[in-house]
Amino acid sequence: MTDRYCVFGHPVAHSKSPAIHAAFAAQTGQTMEYSAIEAPLDDFAGAWRRFVAEGGRGANVTVPFKEEAFRLCDTLSQRARRAGAVNTLILGGNGATYGDTTDGVGLVRDLKRAGVDLAGARLLVLGAGGAVRGVLEPLLAEAPANLVVANRTVEKAERLAADFRDLGEVAGGGFDAAAGPFDLVINGTSASLAGDLPPLPDDLFSEGATAYDMMYGAEPTVFLRWAAERGAHAVDGLGMLVEQAAESFFQWRGKRPDTAPVLEALRASL
Ligand code: ATR
């Protein structure tokens, strides 16, 4: 039977993961299938069990199932335990389910691709939801000078910062407490989805700073437009999507695809 993989989401029809993994498989000569499956909102575990029974070997997990996927895993990577969520499920030889999260390494690899030097950098991360929690450990592993988490709901930023303080100098607060300059500002809020901009101070960016939005689209997000007007180098999250997929692919197949042509093709298709 051909090894099967999928992305679980709800909704999931517009996911770019099937196209990305098909490109990786073609590039590395892997015989595998990868589809998009809309799991029922009330039975994610059942959807995974059924998929495994039909030859499923692994899956990506997207909104809104990342926390539920975390809970069904028999074993977890260290970074997934920190994130409290998984985006990658792997079926072990013994039938056990192993969970990992590749979002953070995906983000770090894409930042490096964009020429960002994280070591010693002053970092501001906007948002304190699951998307941000999922990337903090890999960001802190790059040894930034410090990292500030700013959020609309201040207590959430404070709690998140406290959870990661053992890994580096991490502070949490409201948007108004984000006193720059920062070398890198990452927007991990979902404000861009609604076309909103968090209320940020004007003097946020250092000379040569990068603004990164974990969202992407055919047009730059409101945040990236705002940042570019203030002189920052603006990068969207399409590369993070491709890099997190590449890391999942590596976990499943033991092959590292070349992400550059896949990102280029995906960009052209937006
Ligand atoms: P995700 O898993 O994508 O992180 P989430 O856990 O719902 O989703 O978190 C969404 C994040 O975007 C939160 O940090 C949220 O701020 P609150 O914690 O105050 O709710 C932030 N967010 C959403 N819409 C926003 C907006 N219009 N302006 C500023 N922040 C916003």
- Ligand 1 atom nearest to 127, measured from its CA: 14
Pocket lining: 198 vs ligand 1, CB cutoff 6 Å? yes
Which stretches of the chain score pLDDT less than 50?
none
For residue 232, what is the DSSP state?
P
Is domain 3-101+240-269 annotated with CATH 3.40.50.10860?
Answer: yes
Find the helix packing angle between 238-253 and 259-269, rounded to 10°.
Answer: 140
Is the C-beta atom of 64 inside 6 A of ligand 1? no
Rounded Cα–Cα distance for residues 68 and 45 (Å): 8
The verdict on the CB of residue 127 being under 6 Å from ligand 1 is yes
Residue 106: its pLDDT value, please?
Answer: 98
pLDDT for the residue numbered 180: 86
Q: Does the interface predicted TM-score (ipTM) exceed 0.95?
A: yes
Q: Which residues are catalytic?
A: 66
- Ligand 1, residues 103, 187, 189: which to mutate, most atoms within 8 A of Cβ? 189
Question: How high is the pLDDT of residue 125?
Answer: 98
Q: How far apart are CA 116 and CA 234, in angstroms?
A: 11
Please state the residue numbers annotated as binding site. 15-17, 62, 87, 103, 127-131, 151-156, 214, 216, 237, 244
The pLDDT of residue 177 is 81
Whether the CB of 4 sits within 6 Å of ligand 1: no
Greatest alpha-carbon span in the chain:
58
CATH 3.40.50.10860 spans which residues of the chain?
A: 3-101+240-269
What is the spatial order of strands in the sheet that 205-213 belongs to?
170-173, 146-150, 122-126, 182-187, 205-213, 233-235
Q: What is the model's pTM?
A: 0.97
- Per-residue DSSP letters for 49-70? HHHHHTTEEEEEE-TT-HHHHH
Span 104-236: which CATH code? Answer: 3.40.50.720
Structure confidence by residue, pLDDT tens digits, 27-53:
999 999 999 999 999 999 999 999 999
* Sequence-ordered strand ranges (E) for the chain: 3-9, 32-38, 56-61, 75-76, 88-91, 97-100, 122-126, 146-150, 170-173, 182-187, 205-213, 233-235
For residue 196, give the ligand 1 atom closest to its CA.
27
Range(s) of the chain covered by CATH 3.40.50.720: 104-236
Ligand 1 atom closest to Cα of residue 189: 12
